[in-house]
Chain A
Amino acid sequence: MNNFLIISSSFVIALLITTTTFALGEFSPDWIQLVLIYWLLAAPSAVGLIISWLIGLIADATLGTTLGMHALTYVGISFIIMQSYKFLRYLTVYQQAIIIFIIFILKYTILLWIDRLLDINVYTLSIYWTPLMSAILWPIVFYILRFIRRKYYIA
């Protein structure tokens, strides 16, 4: 119960930060995805594919994109991370940041591709700033969430 409460409130805070940093446009990092990746690595038993999908759906509603777009990429990334869990877990934070940068490039390419395929045209190529900002901020997110996890003994 404790786990559930802490993890879901971390997602609520991520949503809060997302809505307040809308003004930054594409320079705002992808907070929700970063928090999700942290919990996938730190507490793999607590978050799974279905929770990732639901969070993706919430992200879609928050960001005003076509429902299912982010859900698709969230499930894909969660699956990749769950499969390569053993490899990622033992990298240093900065090595993880590089991996996250590559994964995010992939994610935004898929989003851009869906966007163009359906002729929605919300995204432009400047969306690729987001992976960079997210990778730069990954260590901060990591250390803050690790502090919380250790304080409340979440495994």
Chain B
Amino acid sequence: MQLFYKKSTQDFYIFLFLIILSVSAIILDNKYKQINYIRSIINDVIIYPIDLISSIPKSIVELLVIESKEGPDLQLKITKLEDENLNLKIKLQELQSLKDENLRLRNMAKESIIIANKQTLVKVISASAHPNKKIISIDKGRKEAVFEGQNVLGLKGLIGQVIEVNYLTSKVLLISDLNHNVPAQITRTGEKLIVSGMGRDDKLRVSYAPLNMNIKIGDVVATSGIAGRFKLNIPIGKISDVIYNQDKNFIEAIVLPYENIGNIAELILIWDYIPKKTDE
């Protein structure tokens, strides 16, 4: 009986101690971001291997698919790619001259237009790394000097931003997340608007645009660089639908992103833009 009593009170004190520890961990993590390194240690030591294990079946299937492709098929693909390469090279020359001209013009206006001088291709290791948010994890981390807030692009347009950096992996918040907003502009007119996620991969939304805004179906939307989160002039998508809502006194619009945001295997990190730190 004495022993049972002793064990019980010991448990109670451990319980109390752990509760206090948890509460202080919550406060530290929420207020001061001091214990982020504990999170990255857990992520690197435990979750990274688990992610790797869970991606084994997928990579085996992919390997089999590649193996089963026959020779002629590949030959055909190679000729097609060579053709494409040639065409692109010719186009690139045109583009280079246009770029130079544009740069010269922009220099007069003192604005930079180049999307990125240095970029890195990264792979997605888990397409959904959070149960309630649109977050993916990528295979580069602090080891490759990835930093928080870094802009993440696809081949065609904006994807999101880095929100958590561990030693070997990082997490990227997608622009399609329900709580994510991007300061943007219509490239045709330069008018500013805010593009928000809808929690869906194929659609983004402009919730509040003034009624007198010059906005048409087919307009290209790009980042505006306001607030210093995203670099200027990264393309986002095209306006696919404009809803005039007279009662509410603003325009709603739907933006079709250029990138297939939720289902993408390779992403690009850009290095020459460092976002402004905001006090959150």
The number of A-B residue pairs with CB atoms under 8 Å apart is 107
Main secondary structure on chain B at its contact with chain A?
Answer: helix
Tell me how far the C-beta of B42 lies from the nearest C-beta in chain A, rounded to whole angstroms.
4
| B residues less than 8 Å from A127 (CB atoms) | 132
Stretch at the interface among B17-25, B222-230, B233-241: B17-25
Contact A61 B46 (CB under 8 A): yes
| A residues less than 8 Å from B19 (CB atoms) | 72, 75-76
User: Interface size (B, Cβ < 8 Å)?
Assistant: 37
Bound-state Cα–Cα, A28 to B164, Å: 24
Tell me how far the C-beta of B18 lies from the nearest C-beta in chain A, rounded to whole angstroms.
5
Contact A67 B11 (CB under 8 A): no
Tell me how far the C-beta of A146 lies from the nearest C-beta in chain B, rounded to whole angstroms.
24
Bound-state Cα–Cα, A67 to B28, Å: 9
A53 interfacial by beta-carbon distance below 8 Å: yes
B203 interfacial by beta-carbon distance below 8 Å: no
The closest CB in chain B to the CB of A75 belongs to B18
Most chain B beta carbons < 10 A, residue from A22, A69, A76 = A22
- Other A-B contacts than A15-B46, A58-B46, A122-B132, 14 sampled, CB-CB below 8 A, are A15-B47, A16-B53, A19-B50, A23-B127, A53-B18, A53-B21, A57-B25, A57-B42, A64-B130, A64-B171, A68-B26, A68-B29, A72-B23, A82-B11
Q: Which 7 A-B pairs have the closest CB atoms?
A: A68-B25, A72-B22, A61-B42, A68-B26, A67-B29, A68-B22, A22-B128
